[in-house]
Structures are given as structure tokens and as C-alpha cells.
Amino acid sequence: MRIGELSERTNTPRRMLRYYEEQGLIAAERTANGYRSYDERFVDRVAQIRGLLDAGLPTRIIRQILPCLDKPRTIHFPDATPEMLSTLETELARMQARVECLQRNRDAIAEYLEAVRPRAEA
């Protein structure tokens, strides 16, 4: 698929897709006329990248962990640095805190709906 279709399907600006390519996060083949052509698997890959960026991970770390997100999951880091491990541990803790906050908010909204639905239906 061309960059426009990938952009549309992932709701990611073309400029950002080019940046991901520059950072080595995705790779495009070039057609005879020089257009970028992306494999179908990059639809999911772009979603993964965006999620990791939203979680606060820098692209240099994302580039290293992306192979671990493929299936089958083969995890090996011959060049894992203490800095990278520390960054990942920090981000994991931050993500866990966000998950817990989202769960609390979900539960509060569910309780609220349970309380107001009977009155609204009456």
C-alpha cells in the first residue's frame, strides 16, 4: 500500500510515517516510480509505535523493542544497556500506574451509571 493509504488506515500523518521510516521503525519498498510501498503488517506496527510513543518511550528504545512485539516472540538483547533497562523499568511502572488509574475511573463510571440508570428509566 502507498503512504497515503497507510496514513489513512492508521490515522497517522504522512510526515510522521516518513519520520518513523527515518528512525528505522518501519521500512518501505520503493516502486519503479519511486513511491513508497508498505506491507500490510505496518498497519499494526504503526499502532504499536504510536502506543509506545504515547507511553513516553523514545524512538531509540522503540527501535530496539519492536522485534519483541512480532510473533513468534523472540526476545534477545545483546546490546541492552543499563540505561535502556532503567528506562523500560520506569516506563513499565508508569504504564502500570496509568492502567490502575483507568481501572479506577472505569469502575467509578460503571457505579455511577448503575446508580442513575434506574432513575433515568423511571
The total number of structural domains in the chain stands at 2
More confident residue, 13 or 68: 13
Q: Are residues 22 and 46 in the same domain?
A: yes
Q: Are residues 5 and 62 in the same domain?
A: yes
Under 8 Å between Cβ of 4 and 14: yes
For residue 108, pLDDT beyond 90: yes
HSE-up of 120 (CA within 13 Å, CB side)? 6
Reported confidence tier of residue 109, pLDDT bands at 50, 70, 90: very high
pLDDT per position as a tens digit, 35-94: 889 999 999 999 999 988 888 788 888 888 887 777 655 556 667 788 878 888 888 898
CA 91 vs. chain centroid, Å, equals 13
pLDDT at residue 52, rounded to an integer: 87
Q: Are residues 47 and 64 in the same domain?
A: yes
Range of the domain at 89: 81-122
Q: Are residues 68 and 28 in the same domain?
A: yes
